Amino acid sequence: MIKIEAIVREEKMEDVKEALNRIEVNGITVYQVVGCGMQKGYSELVRGTKVDISLLPKIKFEIVVSNEEWEEKAINAIKEAAFTGNFGDGKIFSYDLKNVIRIRTGESGTDAIN
């Protein structure tokens, strides 16, 4: 089992959701987060005073898939949907999961995510 975490631009949330739905990845968790990378935020005038905004709003997706084939499909779908070609497009992380347990039934492993 593999967990995929993707941090993308806020405006790309619906595109990523739709891309994952198209490949039939339905179990997702979505968070509103803030962070910065290469773009380092921006400056804004607030009541006549310059304010540096160093943390930008982003969307974080968490997805658990059963194997490397689904990992590749999900990552490709996210990359295509989130891409703008500019700084701030985001990052995708994937790593192995030791176990997953469905609380309601007690199922574990891939049975708990299917």
**Confidence (pTM):** 0.86
Domain 2-113 has CATH 3.40.50.300: no
pLDDT per position as a tens digit, 39-53 = 666 677 778 877 777
pLDDT tens, position by position, 53-80: 778 899 999 999 999 999 999 999 999 9
Token pair recorded at residue 109: 């492993």
Domain locations along the chain: 2-113
For 89, residues 6+ apart whose C-beta sits below 8 A from its C-beta are: 8, 9, 82, 83
Question: What's the token pair of residue 71?
Answer: 């990992």
